[in-house]
Chains A and B, each alone.
Chain A
C-alpha cells in the first residue's frame, strides 16, 4: 500500500471503530448490576464500596503547534507538549471512564476539575450510591462509593488516598494495602502501552483530535479484549478453535449498550435531586468535597483493613 492509501485506510479504521463500538466500550456509565459486581470484586480485596482506581496518564504530542504548546506542557516534560488523560478502571483492567485533551489540564488536580465523571458526581446527575449500600467494618453504610487514588487527589468523600506521613501502624498498614490495590490503574497504563505501542511513543499528528482518536480506539479495543476474557472466548481460542466467529461474541460486541443507571430503575438517592436548585447543588458539592466527609471514610476503611486478616 502506498503511504496515502495507508493513511486513508487507517483513518477510516479509527473512525469506524469509534462509531461502531464507542457507545458501548468507551465512557459508558455502568449499570447498577455492573457497579455492584465491581464493588464485590474490590470488597474481596479489602475495600468494600470501592468502584475503581483513578489516575492520570500522559500522551506526548510531538507536533503540537507552537502557539498551543503553553497549554499542553507539564513541569516535568517542559520540552514536549503533553495531553493529560484520566482513566478509571476496575480490577479486571476494564477502563470504564476515560477523559483527555482539555487544554490547560497539566496536573492530576486540574484534570479532575474538568473531568465529566466527577463533574456529574458533583452536580448530582450521576448516581454514586449502591442500592442497599455496602458493609464496611461490620456496619452497613449508605455512603457514596469511592475511588482509590494517589496522593495527588484531594481529601474528598469519594477518594481514599494515602497520607504522606502516616502516624500510626494502622494507617501505615491501610496505605500499604491501598497501594497494592491501586496499582491496577498503573497496570492498565502499562498494559495499554505494551499492547499498543502507538500510544507509548510520541505522536506526530498535527491535530490533537487525531491523537485523541488513536488513544480512544486503543481504549475501545482494550475493553473489547477484556470483555472477551470475561466471557471466556480467549480460553476457547487458546484451546485451538482458530478462526471461528463465535455467535456469542458477535452478540456481545454488537448489542446496543445497556441502559444507564438512572434509566435502569436505580433507587432514588440524594444524588439525583434537582440539578437546578442552587442550594441543593452547593450542599452536594460541600458534602462531596469537604474534608470532614472524607475523614469518616478514611477511619472506617483503615479500621476495616486493620481488622481484616492480612493477605499481603
Chain B
C-alpha cells in the first residue's frame, strides 16, 4: 500500500492527527533514501569527493575559539593544539607578513577575498605540530 493512501485513510477515518504526521515523516525519509546519492562515497574512506565544506565558517570558528578577545578556550588549549604559545603566535602574526607578503589576505581573480592571515598561520603551525598531510584539513 502506498504511504499517501495511508495518510488519506487515516484522515478519513478520523484518527489522531499526530499519528498521521509520524507516518508522513517516515514516508518522506523513505522517499529520500530511495533517491540516488549526488555525492559518491569514497571507496577507501577519507574525504568525500565533491562534498561542500563551509570554509568561512571553519575559519570563524578558529578565530572565535582561540584568537578572539574572549576566546572559547584558554591559551593553554591553544598551545596544546598548535604546539606554540599564544604569545609567540602573536609575534608571528605581527612580523611574518612583513617578510613574506604572500601570507597576507589577497583577492582572488573572481573578486572574492582569499584566506585570511590567521588561517594560513594556524594551518602551518598545525601541520608542523601534527605532521599531517595537506588533505587532512
Contact = CB atoms under 8 A, between A and B. Distances in A.
Interface in A1-35: 1, 3, 5-10, 12-17, 19-21
Contact of A198 (B96, B102, B128): B128
B111 interface: no
B131 interface: yes
Interface string B95-136: 111111011000000000001000111011001111100110
Given A13-B100, A242-B75, A254 B95 contact: yes
A217 B91 CA distance: 15
B14 to A, nearest CB: 58
B76 interface: yes
B83 interface: yes
B75 to A, nearest CB: 4
Interface stretch (A46-54, A139-147, A230-238, A281-289): A230-238
A243 B137 contact: no
Interface in A227-254: 228, 233-234, 237-238, 240, 242-246, 249-250, 253-254
A210 B95 CA distance: 22
- For the side of the interface on B, what is the size category? 35 or more
Interface string B55-89: 10000000000010101001110000001111110
A201 interface: yes
A196 interface: yes
A238 B76 contact: yes
- For the side of the interface on A, what is the size category? 35 or more
B87 A228 contact: yes
Contacts of A218: 128
B134 A3 contact: yes
A240 B75 CA distance: 8
Contacts of A244: 87, 90
Given A198-B129, A242-B74, 13 more contacts: A1-B115, A9-B102, A10-B134, A12-B120, A13-B103, A15-B100, A196-B83, A214-B128, A225-B84, A242-B75, A243-B69, A243-B75, A244-B87
Interface of A: 1, 3, 5-10, 12-17, 19-21, 195-201, 214, 217-218, 221, 224-225, 228, 233-234, 237-238, 240, 242-246, 249-250, 253-254
Interface of B: 55, 67, 69, 71, 74-76, 83-88, 90-92, 94-100, 102-103, 115, 119-121, 123-124, 127-131, 134-135, 137
